[in-house]
Structure 1
Amino acid sequence: MEIQQLEILCKQLYEATDSVIRSDAEKALVAFVSSQDALPKCQMLLERADSSYAQLLAATTLTKLIQGLNLEQRIDIRSYVLNYLANRPNLQHFVVQALVTLLAKITKYGWFDMYKSDLIFQNLFEDVKKFLQGSVEHCTIGVQILSQLVLEMNSIIEVDVNLSFSKNRKIATSFRDQQLYDIFLLSCSLLITARDNSKNLNFMDESQQALISHVLRLTKNCLSFDFIGSSTDESSDDMNSVQIPTSWRPAFLDSNTLKLFFDLYQILPNGLASYSLSCLVQMTSVRRSLFNNSERTKFLTHLVEGVKNILVNLHGLSDPDNYHEFCRLLARLKSNYQLGELIAVPCYPEAIQLIAKFTVQSLQMWQFAPNSVHYLLTLWQRMVASVPYVKSPEPHLLGTYTPEVTKAYIESRLDAVPVIVRDNMEDPLDDLCMVQQQLEQLSVIERCEYDKTCTLLVQHFDQKAREYENLLQTPNANPMDITVHELQLTWLVYIIGSAIVGRLTVNSNDDHDTMDAELVIRVLQLMSLTDARLPQAGCEKLELAILSFLEQVRKMHISEQTQKANVYKRLSEVFGLNDEQMLLSFINRKINSVSTKRQKNKMRNNSSTL
């Protein structure tokens, strides 16, 4: 196949609007990749610098051919690609990415290969240093090579059957021990240079912005390395600690390392600043055993001071990426450090006040970043759960600030409903997975100063239930007003259910049981009202909330694992429910009535369809 023909096929594959032409081009190029003369043709394609798509094909084809090449051929390709990138620093970004991927894979594949008594593929780090001494474009390419190398070494995906999982791990371990720390220090030194020369740099300049972006990505890739081969899935974000090797201690004992990333956050524009926070998230998660007690206290103090300084003026937090990473940073503070250690930080009182204020403001912006709010609720959930284990004489202040967080969550959900109904917006109640996740977190948070939580819930519930009952008795009541109250009561029923089940997380007492009883009574009274409407009308979301609530009550006050509570005293006075068996029968009747109603609705819908 002629080079010119290959160029035409590449153009058709990436640019043609006709799917038949694209498909034919793809088939022809697949045949080219498996042809005998693919290797020399790839070099010829790369030389024709007027076609970026041809260069891309050449790079990706060479990557696929790696395991079929002998040692000399792989060494030649390595040298050729390094020279090619050095002589053409202004290639299209997707071509550069394809070429650095080729370099990283060929380096990993040949990591232990000897050539003339030299582990030649392990010299890539030294070769890259030459790029770093050149122009901004050359420096960017050098950083991209290292960043892709770190990613490739961290990947457990096998290149082919000849590179097994154990061989992958052996290569990754060798790379970790020999070069990763030096690469991390190099990335930090480049960032220090950028910070110290920030007055002379134009961060809005595309080339300089690209360089800083890639250096920050490189740093994060180093900090995200799977140091012990645990192969955890970072997407789950389950707060795993980062298993930094002991040899990295000097970098983390130096307070200037943390300061660097807090400084960068302050000076970098949106779009770059979030990367510095991502690095801080990883550094916050460094394994506890890397430090002794005094070192850990010092490290944590610098972290909390940095967080506090961001919160003082909320710098950059209007940017969604910055906001999200900052919420992750807050959550990691508690996942890796004990509440007693946080309390011991000198600026803790000011910091926890600012974190509470930030959380309240975030919850009030209910339509903004629910995925980020998850991390804030995680922080408060873990803080409250740790209270019984605190031995510090210093006050934790959670009794002051946690009720503010609970109040903000409850009232923000209620305030959102009229806006959602009026403007026909997406309803968070439609995402029950997210709602349940938040309620699980809230169930712990709202048991802190539980009397305040109950007082607030009773106040809102009584008001909304009274207004709802009046609306139902008003002729020609506005249907939208009825819907608003039904959805507000839906939220309150869900939140009360979470408060009830939160009893499992704390040491409960008779007063708490009495408070639980008052909440249970109110929902059961509402249930009587909604049951009366079921034959003619009803709100499915509210019915689902009531069913969820009854399940929580069953867990807490019917389960054999829980103690018999004083709840039955009040239930007997109001409903005549004297024991567990009577309450269980009551719950079963409700479930059956809802099931019957839904079945009738289904049949009615089917008949109307027919």
Structure 2
Amino acid sequence: MADEQDLLQLENLCKQLYETADGNVRAEAEKALVSFANSPDCLNKCQLLLERGNSAYAQLLAATTLTKMVYRPNSTLPLEQRVDIRNYVLNYLATRPKLTHYVSQALVQLFARITKYGWFDVLKDDYIFRDAVSDVVKFIQSNSTHHVMIGVQLLSQLVCEMNQVSESEASRSLTKHRKIASSFRDTQLFEIFQLACSLLRSAAGNIKSLDFNDSNQHSLLSHSLRLAHNCLTFDFIGTSTDESSDDLCTVQIPTSWRSAFLDVSTMELYFDLYSVLPTSLSPLALSCLVQIASVRRSLFNNTERAKFINHLVIGVRGILENPLGLSDPNNYHEFCRLLARLKSNYQLGELVKVDNYSEAIKLIAEFTITSLRMWQFAPNSVHYLLSLWQRMVASVPYVKATEPHMLETYTPEVTKAYITSRLESVHVVVRDQVEDPLDDHGMIAQQLEQLSTIGRCEYEKTCSLLVQLFDESAQRYQERISSGPSPELAIEEGRLTWLVYIIGSVIGGRVSFASTDEHDAMDGELVCRVLQLMNLTDSRLSQVGCEKLDLAILSFFEQFRKIYVGDQVQKTSKVYRTLSEVLGLSDESMVLSVFIGKIITNLKFWGRSEQIISKTLQLLSDLSVGYSSVRKLVKLDAVQFLLNNHTSEHFPFLGINNGAGGGPGDMRCRTTFYTALGRLLLVDLGEDEERFYRFMVPLTSHFESVGGLLANTNVSLNMEDAKRSLIGLARDLRGITFAFSNKTSYMMLFDWFYPSFTPVLQRAVELWFHDPTVTTPILKLFTELAQNRSQRLQFDVSSPNGILLFREISKMICCYGSRILTIGDIPKDRLYPMKYPLLNQYL
């Protein structure tokens, strides 16, 4: 009777956990169920919950609890018990065809987990858990669709489990995981893959009799495809760390699998399945083909590889000739991935030798052009198409084959399609108020990096197109400025934004090619146009500005800096000749003055845009690194103005109530700013203490002001301002400390900082120890002070500075640590920033 009451209570708790909307009730139920999972009679009650079958939630609890019990960090179930659980699960799945899907999935995972953890366990001289595959094959050999489907699910989950590192393994031994995975790979995986292919061949042979509206038949085919895909995505050599590296890896198929891939029917099976399956299933067939196309080159000899590539390209060509299925976004995405693998795994010299290469490259080019024009359809897939063309163009100088690659014919068309489609998107964005691709900075950066190589192929055509489009748009922009804000003006700003981004990209692509004087002269024409546009837009910043266009100009400057500014650049480059003729910028120093002028203009007028301030300061930081450019920079009047006037009066972002400096989280860029200023100051500083103290005057004044406020124990209305000022000061000082990497400059800073201002920071931690927006910048500052960068902390034997530094850092750690421990219960979503601020990457 007591057991019955306990089971009813457990079922009720499960219902509360999964169904109630009351957070408190759910939290209490979760706490009670955690206690149940740790109770001595948990195993028996889990079995009873499964047997009753009154509640799917209770069955789910039983399955997940058993899964956790299988391999607890501190205790493991006896071998006989684990064998019994494994057998019980198989029997349970075989005899209950109507289980809720999430219950059956939880039991399948339990089977996979218990099999993996017992892989090396021996019972009566037998590796008892290695019989898993033969046990599951009995399901698949059944005439029941349900049993076959369960068997496929069991194998699919087992392959996944063997391929991934669970949380419990991460806390234990990764070596054991690799040993288990390797043993499974060598003894079972190929048999499972062959079984999956056999099931799929059977389905393909009876495709006309299959009813895809029948959920059982549909699910069986889906699980069979997933099983094959799981086998092909197995981490064969134990090098994959996460899924983000998927598109960078070759599939390291073992040599023992050669027969499956030398037989072209394996590849043809998946092409055939793609052509006959509905769109709910066909993307899985393409996913398998992506992996098959990525099989390591060394699996074949030259003749075998040529045959393999030939069949692969024939299959691709067949899809392009009948592209109806590509209207489905999932099919389209996987097909784009398949195209990208053509070049990531094979050489251009091999591709040009396949049958009907000219027809295939023509179809691929047409597909790419059409895809680029359909910029709103599956935008994330474009990356793979551009990757294909980027890799092909980059390979041109290394092609030794006599067969024509024809890239000089089709690549300019791809470049033109990309440029014109981005310009055409602006009108749609402004007219229909749809999501603007220009807002996705990560996607833009990725695509432009690929375009930088593609656009340099037949560069004369690219440059001619850009000049024509830029001149037309710039003229319309000038005509519409005077009439004030309008949709037409917004369209031209958007078009110019894309053009500036693209110009910066193709200039950056110069590094990938052996450039000629003619190409440098073309770069010069493009640079002049962007600088003339910048002069026009900057003249209007006091009234109005276009943030997206300014971000594009900053991106252009960064690309130009990498290619044409620095120690390695030939100053006789025709870029500088063109700049001299058109704009009067005859040397690098004059170009650097344009850079600094733009930086100062942005810092003055874009204080409310964190993005622009951040990008501007990153440009300043990059300029402050090169040896020759830094020495030229410090001679400029504009740079001296920066060094002598770094205050909020001149640069609003340094304030505590304006724009990018308004909130504690928006002050990150100040560290970058002062790192750059510190590097520039250091060029001619030497032992000039007077110059150093003159540079530090604004910070000295702020510290004294904040110190006066914090010394007053009465909380005043100005304490919030004091907090913000202190956050900014901590970030500023960290930047200077990072830049002062030699002993002389570091000691100047330390003597200024200690003992005058260390008590101010300690007092701040005493007051706001609970606020990570305050403590994190301060702790990071002290971390930087303790860094022995370039041996700057090598104090003389007679110097007490090492002891003093150690004492101040110890006081700060003790001050913070003793107080943070007094904080009671912290909400889960605040635990990381509250108790582990130095690990919090967002601060």
Q: Same fold (TM over 0.5)?
A: yes
Tell me the amino acid that sits aligned with residue 559 of structure 1: G
CA distance, structure 2, for counterparts of residue 455 and residue 192 of structure 1: 53
Cα distance in 2 for partners of 1:582, 1:513 equals 18
The farther-off stretch of 387-396 and 237-246 is: 237-246
Distance in 1 (alpha carbons) for counterparts of 2:562 and 2:171 = 54
Which residue is 2:30 aligned to?
26
| Match among 44, 47, 52 for residue 43 of structure 1 | 47
- Report if aligned partners of 2:17, 2:30 keep a CA contact under 8 Å in 1: yes
From the superposition, tell whether residues 256 and 572 of structure 1 become closer, same or farther in structure 2 (CA, over 3 Å): same
Amino acid across the alignment from 1:572: S
- Does residue 372 (structure 1) correspond to residue 381 (structure 2)? The answer is yes
Q: Note the C-alpha offset of 1:424.
A: 1.9
Could you tell me how far 1:115 is from its partner in structure 2? 1.5
User: 2:522 matched to 1:515?
Assistant: yes
User: Which runs of 5 or more residues in structure 1 are unaligned?
Assistant: none
Q: Does 1:252 align with 2:275?
A: no
Q: Does 1:505 find its partner at 2:512? A: yes
Whether the 8 Å CA contact 1:158–1:168 is kept in 2: the answer is no
Is the aligned partner of 1:566 residue 2:582?
no
Q: Secondary structure at the match of 1:444?
A: helix
The 1:362/1:605 distance shift into structure 2, 3 A limit, reads: farther
State how far apart, in whole Å, the 1-side matches of 2:27 and 2:200 are.
45
Deviations 1:196-234 (A, max 9, x none): 000001122111111111111111111111111113322
- For residues 24 and 109 of structure 1, the distance between their equivalents in structure 2, rounded to whole angstroms, comes to 32
Change in Cα spacing, 1:343 to 1:562, as seen in structure 2 (3 Å) is farther
| Between 224-233 and 195-204, the greater mean CA deviation after superposition | 224-233
Letter in 1 for 2:286: L
For the residue of structure 1 that corresponds to 2:545, the secondary structure is coil
1:232 equivalent among 217, 228, 241? 241
Which residue does the alignment assign to 2:13?
9
Answering whether residue 155 of structure 2 is matched by residue 155 of structure 1, we say no
Question: Among residues 504, 520, 543, which one is paired with 1:536 in the alignment?
Answer: 543
TM-score (norm 1): 0.96
CA distances 1:35-60 after superposition (whole Å, capped 9, x unpaired)? 11111111111111232111111111
Q: Distance in 2 between matches of 1:375 and 1:212?
A: 28
What is the identity, as a one-letter code, of the residue corresponding to 2:563?
M
Give the superposition deviation at 1:261.
0.3
CA apart distance, 1:559: 2.2
**Contact 1:239-1:332 within 8 A present in 2 as well:** no
Confirm or deny: 8 A CA contact 1:304 1:347 kept in the other structure.
no
Cα deviation, residue 162, structure 1: 9.5
Cα distance in 1, alignment partners of residues 29 and 96 from structure 2: 28
State which of 290, 301, 309 in structure 1 corresponds to 2:318. 309
Contact in 2 for aligned 1:59/1:102 (Cα 8 Å): yes
Shift of 1:117: 2.2
Among candidates 279, 294, 319, match of residue 328 of structure 2 = 319
Residue by residue, what CA displacement relative to the aligned partner does 1:140-160 show, whole Å, maximum 9, x if unpaired?
Answer: 100010011111111223645
Aligned-partner Cα distance in 1 for 2:132–2:444: 50
Q: Contact (CA 8 Å) 1:547, 1:591: kept in 2 or not? A: no
Residues 283-335 of structure 1: CA deviation (Å, up to 9, x unaligned): 11111100000100111111111111101121311111111111111111110
Determine if contact 2:320/2:363 at 8 Å carries over to the other structure. Answer: yes
1:388 aligns with 2:392: no
Is the Cα contact below 8 Å between 2:253 and 2:296 reproduced in 1? yes
Q: Which amino acid aligns with 2:552?
A: A
| Aligned-pair Cα RMSD in Å | 1.9
- Amino acid in the other structure paired with 1:78: R
Query: Structure 2 unaligned runs (5+)?
Result: 610-651, 663-720, 722-843
Q: Which residue of 2 aligns with 1:590?
A: 598
List aligned pairs for 1:275-294, cutoff 5 A.
275-294=284-303
- Quick check: 1:187–1:219 contact (8 Å CA) kept in 2? yes
Q: Is the 8 A contact 1:270 1:316 kept in 2?
A: yes
Answer yes or no: is the 8 Å Cα contact 2:169–2:177 preserved in 1: no
1:215 aligns with 2:224: yes
Letter in structure 1 aligned against 2:58: A
Structure 1 counterpart of 2:153: 144
Is 1:63 the counterpart of 2:61? The answer is no
Q: Does 1:457 align with 2:466?
A: yes
Regions of 4+ moved over 4 Å: 160-163, 600-610
- Take 1:342 and 1:162, find their aligned partners in 2: how far apart are those partners? 46
1:82 aligns with 2:90: yes
Structure 1 stretch 150-159 or stretch 493-502: which is displaced more?
150-159
Q: Distance in 1 between matches of 2:608 and 2:424?
A: 33
The Cα offsets for residues 438-475 of structure 1, whole Å up to 9 and x where unpaired, read as: 111100000001001011101100100011111124xx
Q: Per the alignment, in what secondary structure is the counterpart of residue 315 of structure 1?
A: helix
2:199 and 2:501 map into 1 onto residues whose CA distance is 51
Matched, 1:362 2:371: yes
Amino acid at match of 1:24: E
The aligned amino acid for 2:568 is Q
1:132 equivalenced with 2:140 (yes/no): yes
Name 1:73's counterpart in structure 2. 81
Secondary structure, in 3 states, of the residue corresponding to 2:106? helix
Give 1:607 shift.
7.4
- Whichever residue aligns with residue 554 of structure 2, its letter is L
Counterpart of 1:199 in 2: which secondary structure? helix
Q: Secondary structure at the match of 2:324?
A: coil
Deviation at 1:548? 1.8
Q: Is the 8 A contact 1:42 1:59 kept in 2?
A: yes
Counterpart-to-counterpart distance in 2, 1:260 and 1:594: 59
Partner of 2:191: 182
Q: 1:405-439 CA deviation, whole Å, 9 max, x = no partner?
A: 11111111111111111222221112212111111
Higher relative contact order (CA 8 A, sep 6+): 1
Identity %: 63
SS at match of 1:125: helix
Match of 1:93 among 76, 79, 101: 101
In structure 2, C-alpha distance between the alignment counterparts of 1:584 and 1:283, rounded to whole Å: 51
Residue 119, structure 1, aligned to residue 127, structure 2: yes
Name which of 423, 437, 441 aligns with 2:446. Answer: 437
TM-score (norm 2): 0.70
For each residue in 1:60-98, what CA deviation from the matched residue of structure 2 results, as whole angstroms up to 9, or x when unmatched?
111111133101111111111111111112211111111
Conserved in 2, the CA contact under 8 Å of 1:568 and 1:578?
yes
